[in-house]
Amino acid sequence: MDGCRRAPLAQLLGLALLVVPLGACSGLNLFEKQEQLGPDQPADKLYNEGVFLLNRRSDFKDAAKKFEEVERQHPYSEWARKSLIMTAYAKYEAREYDEAISAARRYVTLHPGSPDAAYAQFLIGTSYYDQIADITRDQGRTEKAIAALEEVSRKYPDTEYAASAKNKIEMARDQLAGKEMMVGRYYQSRKDFTGAINRFKVVVTQYQTTRHVEEALLRLTESYMALGIVNEAQTAAAVLGHNFPDSRWYADAYRLVRSSGMEPTANPASWITRAFKGVGLG
């Protein structure tokens, strides 16, 4: 998922518009690390130091510390609000995802009506999304990514983040479907055809728009044939052929059904047929 990880900071937050000129204090020594920040530093000075470090794209953790210091020293200021969303972004860029999620959630809670609330919610989902593991591992982060990104679509449908959230949701759902397929194929290889059918059924009913649905219908054809439930095998093959006539998986399903002297035929009462109503059959 690394290819999609970049959150569009300049576009989303307009960093350049938030920066206040540093004037005569803009020497490099201004940004030197100090063992302990003094208690009376101006909020705009701390904020701009954070922006400077952030724009260097190599000092994300130090940038986050500057923004956190704004919050600590000036908790009720407008700078504190701006710094909180910037802390979340800096943590995200530093790949400190849990901290990014925490800061972004705090922003949404404290400033739900802010123009940047949509971005904060998007950042929560993106932080989970970037942690999606391969299908051999637990998919808890995938489910959390989907839930957080669906909040973007639901609460902020007219923002620029909604389309990106939708794309990420589709890819995350494809990941969950892939997990179901992997487990289903494992059961099938162990001749636990009932267990396999239950997994493939999840793909057909819950992840119908993913790229895995075609193979799921073939595997259902195979599993039902193995159990001798011929009418469901015929239905799975017929639904596959009707909705994906050029699919390589349909060629295999068709041959399997024909090898038993039958034709792919959809049973209107089958759960498979009902699942595809409105998308090409029924």
* Domain assignments of the chain as residue spans, ordered by start: 1-120, 176-282
112 Cβ partners below 8 Å, 6+ apart? none
Tens of pLDDT, residue by residue, the chain (282 residues): 544 455 555 454 554 344 444 433 344 444 554 445 455 689 999 999 999 999 988 899 999 999 999 999 999 999 999 999 999 999 999 999 999 999 999 999 999 999 999 999 999 999 999 999 999 999 999 999 999 999 999 999 999 999 999 999 999 999 999 999 999 999 999 999 999 999 999 999 999 999 999 999 999 999 999 999 999 999 999 999 999 999 999 999 999 999 999 999 999 999 999 998 755 554
Q: Which of 213, 219, 234, 233 is closest to 280 using CA atoms? A: 213
The token pair at 74 is 């000036």
28 Cβ partners below 8 Å, 6+ apart? none
Quote the pLDDT of residue 40. 67
Quote the pLDDT of residue 280. 52
Q: Is 107 helix (H, G, I), strand (E, B) or coil?
A: helix
Q: Ramachandran region of residue 72, left (φ > 0), alpha (ψ -120 to 50) or beta?
A: alpha
**Domain spanning 1-120 has what CATH number?**
1.25.40
Quote the pLDDT of residue 5. 52
Question: How far is it, in rounded angstroms, from Cα 206 to Cα 221?
Answer: 18
CATH level 2 (architecture), domain 176-282: Alpha Horseshoe (1.25)
* Rounded alpha-carbon distances, angstroms, from residue 83 to 34, 51, 112: 19, 10, 16
Fold matches, 1-120 and 176-282: yes
Per the CB < 8 A criterion, the answer to whether 85 and 107 are in contact is yes
Per the CB < 8 A criterion, the answer to whether 125 and 149 are in contact is yes
Quote the pLDDT of residue 49. 95
